[in-house]
Amino acid sequence: MEVATESFLSNIFEARYWLYPLQGFGYAMWINLFWKEMTLIFLTYLSKLTLVSVFYYLLLFPFVLGINTVMWGPLGITVAVVHAILQVNMYASTLTRLHSAKYAPLIMEKLVRAKNSNNAIVASRIFMPTVQRAISAKPKRHLAKAVPIFLAKMTLKLSFYSLIFMVSLIPIAGVFLVRIIRSGTVGYLYSIPILAVQKPLSLKKGEIFYRDLGKNVAFGVVGGFLELLPIFSGLCIATNYIGRGLWLLDESAKLEPGVSPKQFLASL
């Protein structure tokens, strides 16, 4: 908790972490290098958008339309349609991000080569130092204790996601609130596919998330808002991966300079 608080307060106000998603978009538009990955991610987005739209308008839209009509009268129809478009796009973007993670290492590899060839920065190996801990053997938990703990965790998760769902039903503003609430997670999820290919360093989920909480929140707010634009968000998911790659290259250049691009690519 102390690490998360310190990270949040010290990094949330650094402008560069807010700008990386925009830099990724600008870089993708400036250099015609990532068209293949962007096309594949966009096609994935279109398939998810179609699937979510069908289920949403069959199951949820009548409820959303009824609530907004009662609240706003004739204007409620317009509010319901706008809200439905934003909410469908939010779910489609989330599914696309999960199913397009396999393209992130390919984007990162191209980004490293492009940065080196343009002499913009010297690419170096991504280095995420891990906290030293004493190794301790955990005894096997008895089934009578494991089941209640598992059920408690599942109850907390279900309660959290139920709350997020209820917030998302707030007309129009709810979609933006959900993006802000989950900004830290969104920022972190963009790094997982890239960090997961590190060798021999292992990906420590909670450790990296909380240590970079402020950075993840800043990146996630801007990246999440870029995802909110229907259709356009299919491209922004790819450019957010590029922005995350630019961030990781900048961080690694400060931590461990002097490693050649070949060494970097060999470590992926």
CA distance 100 to 104: 7
Angle 75-99/173-181 helices, nearest 10 degrees?
30
Q: Check residue 140 and give its pLDDT.
A: 58
Angle 75-99/61-72 helices, nearest 10 degrees?
140
Q: Which two tokens stand for residue 11?
A: 């990094």
pLDDT digit string (tens) for 134-157?
444 455 556 667 778 888 889 998
CA distance 248 to 196: 13
Reduced to 3 states, what is the DSSP secondary structure of residue 90? Answer: helix
DSSP 10: H
Q: Check residue 229 and give its pLDDT.
A: 86
Q: Check residue 112 and give its pLDDT.
A: 85
> To which residue do tokens 């349609």 refer?
81
Q: How far is residue 248 CA from its own chain's centroid?
A: 14
Task: Report, as ranges of residue numbers, the positions in the chain whose pLDDT lies below 70.
Answer: 1-4, 6-7, 117-144, 196-207, 253-268
* Residues contacting residue 246 through CB under 8 Å, at least 6 positions apart: 20, 23, 24, 27, 111
What is the total residue count of the chain?
268
CA distance 51 to 46: 9
Q: Check residue 264 and give its pLDDT.
A: 45
Q: Check residue 262 and give its pLDDT.
A: 43
pLDDT digit string (tens) for 24-34?
999 999 888 89
Q: Check residue 149 and give its pLDDT.
A: 82
